[in-house]
Amino acid sequence: MSGVNKVIIVGRLGSDPEIRYTQQGVAVTNFNLATSENWVDKGGQKQERTEWHRIVVWGKMAETCSQYLAKGRQVYVEGRLQTRQWEDKEGGKRYTTEIIANTVQFLDRGTGSERSTNLPASEAPMLPESTPPDVSMDADIPF
């Protein structure tokens, strides 16, 4: 029996997306997404916890995210969890767990520092599902 690896989150970008291109010319965009949980503790005090999620988007969807997303924008992301390992400069093993996005939907017209012209709300794309291409990445560059 195979398992299920599916993540659905809604959050806000903590910084502008970063786009890079593989040696094969395939776009890959990374951004950090914050999700928050609020509750009242036993003492009646409001509490908040923020979790940060590293998002990776490939191909045309990566280019669109890089063009239209900016710090503070709210997005819906569907994807899968993936953990990568690499060796740092001192030879130590390093790990990161990321969400590889299949779907990204822009939920607002933008708040925060806007880098690009925003799409009108009626044209905000729900980017189609895609799978990352089979490309080789430099193992020593964790992004």
Task: Find out whether 8 and 55 touch, Cβ atoms under 8 Å.
Answer: no
Q: Per residue, what are the HEC states of 82-142?
A: EEEEEECCCCCEEEEEEEEEEEEEECCCCCCCCCCCCCCHHHCCEECCCCCCCCCCCCCCC
pLDDT of residue 136 exceeding 90? no
Sign, Cα dihedral of 133, 103, 38, 68: positive
The pair phi, psi for residue 9, each rounded to 5°, is -140, 155
pLDDT recorded at residue 1: 75
Between the CA of residue 63 and those of 23, 29, 56, 66, what are the distances in Å?
16, 7, 12, 5
Domain boundaries, the chain: 7-127
Residues paired with 50 in a beta bridge: 36
| pTM for the predicted model, two decimal places | 0.73
CATH of domain 7-127: 2.40.50.140
The pLDDT confidence band at residue 44, using thresholds 50, 70 and 90, is very high
pLDDT recorded at residue 110: 56
Between 112 and 62, residue with greater pLDDT: 62
Q: For 97-134, what is each residue's pLDDT tens digit?
A: 999 999 999 998 754 443 333 333 333 344 444 445 55
In which residue are the tokens 């063009």 written? 67
pLDDT recorded at residue 97: 95
Distance CA 130, CA 101 (A): 8
State the average pLDDT over residues 1-6: 91
